[in-house]
Amino acid sequence: MSVTGFEFATATRIVFGAGRLAEVPEAMKVLGGHKVLLVTGRDSTRAAPLREGLGRLGLSSVTFAVEGEPTVELVRAGTATAVSERCDGVVAFGGGSALDAGKAIAALAANGGDPLDYLEVVGRGQALTKPSLPLVAIPTTAGTGSEVTRNAVLGVKDAQVKASLRSPLMLPRLALVDPELLAGAPPAVLASSGLDALSQLIEPFLSARAHPLTDALAREGIGRSARSLRRAVLEGPDAAAREDLALASLFGGLCLANAGLGAVHGFAAPVGGMFEAPHGAVCAALLPATLEVNLRALRARAPSHPALPRFQEVAVLLTGRADARAEEGITWVRELCQALGVPGLGRHGLTEADVPQLVARAKAASSMKANPLPLTDEELTEIAVRSR
């Protein structure tokens, strides 16, 4: 694949390693924060050591818990809290929902206005003009890679969609990834987040915008996910597996932010808006059929496409066999999803009657633009039906 030029943007600083969470309070102090909005997941008690560490350095904090996937209404409330409490820094600690909420709140607290002023697709799409409040992003799951991306996905209930608030000004000042935070994670969370991470490595590797820097990260991440995800979910994550999954998630975030995604995430956004469905579980349900339909479409309509040999390379990375064929990689993914108990989209409420509306919305999703080639309505419908 020829290189015609590329761009790579990420958090100002990335810190990785077991036990590195202890460095956050000093880092926030260096960034100039004095009163911190601590955005957490549903269980804010997990952040108690972090809150105590901030206090020891003289930094006060206000906790804002994110109960579910972030919505426009939730971000409005979080921004109002940050402004009324005069917070000058944000620490987001949790899964992708807490991180996305933290990024959106940090941006809006600095820029003013309403989320819909800046939101894509269903908002006014205005550009942010001021840097976000200093933001430290700390993932406690290994899936979204949100700590190194420049967008926050928000649900808009009235429109039944999820859309992104997006700007380079939203990139965290510090992304801190501590694999020890995965200890004790429930198997279902490890499965859905881990399969989300795997899809965010495979899709950018096959993407129309793939480039050598993201390729290197994707190859490394796919290999780590392949050797550790099944074992971590079924047997519990030991230190080596926690490291592999945390790195796979981090690399997936770096890849998606800089090479785009594809049809899996093109579908995932409208599914998440139409139904109460966890993002990672949706991506996992969509991944096998999407890979199979894409492979068939490339062979039929673009037999010299540079993504075709990459399907075989993905198969080699997943199976560990140098002679693996592309189809065997897809079979490996399907069998992994079955072993980890991934439910179809029908479990989340998708019916056959919903499929035409879902396909129409997926076609308009921004992630679809990086799919290796445009898929027909018939092919998109097949993915939706087979993922049920």
Q: Which residues pair with 176 in a beta bridge?
A: 15
Q: Which candidate, 197, 221, 226, places its Cα nearest to that of 321?
A: 226
pLDDT digits (tens, 9 = 90+) for 39-87: 999 989 999 999 999 999 999 999 999 998 899 999 999 999 999 999 9
Q: What is the pLDDT of residue 120?
A: 85
- Phi first, then psi, for residue 61 (nearest 5°) are -145, 150
Cβ neighbours of 82 (radius 10 Å): 26
pLDDT digits (tens, 9 = 90+) for 1-13: 566 688 898 999 9
Q: What is the pLDDT of residue 261?
A: 96
Angstrom distance (rounded) from CA 268 to CA 133: 29
Q: What is the DSSP string of 308-344?
A: HHHHHHHHHHHH--TT--HHHHHHHHHHHHHHTTPPP
* Residues 302-335: b if buried by 16+ CB within 10 A, e if exposed: eeebebbebbbbbbbbbbeeeebebebbbbbbbe
- Phi first, then psi, for residue 24 (nearest 5°) are -65, -50
Cβ neighbours of 84 (radius 10 Å): 9
Cβ neighbours of 43 (radius 10 Å): 10
Per-residue pLDDT of the chain (388 residues; tens, 9 = 90+): 566 688 898 999 999 999 999 999 999 999 988 999 999 999 899 999 999 999 999 999 999 999 988 999 999 999 999 999 999 999 999 999 999 999 999 999 999 999 999 998 788 989 999 999 999 999 999 989 999 999 999 988 887 778 889 999 999 999 999 999 999 899 999 999 999 999 999 999 999 999 999 999 999 999 999 999 999 999 999 999 999 999 999 999 999 999 999 999 999 989 988 888 888 889 999 999 999 999 999 999 999 999 999 999 999 999 999 999 999 999 999 999 999 999 999 999 999 999 999 999 999 888 999 999 999 999 999 999 999 9
Coil, helix or strand for 6? Answer: coil
Q: Which candidate, 89, 135, 238, 22, places its Cα nearest to that of 152?
A: 135
DSSP class of residue 134 equals P
Q: What is the pLDDT of residue 160?
A: 78
DSSP class of residue 388 equals -
Q: What is the pLDDT of residue 331?
A: 97
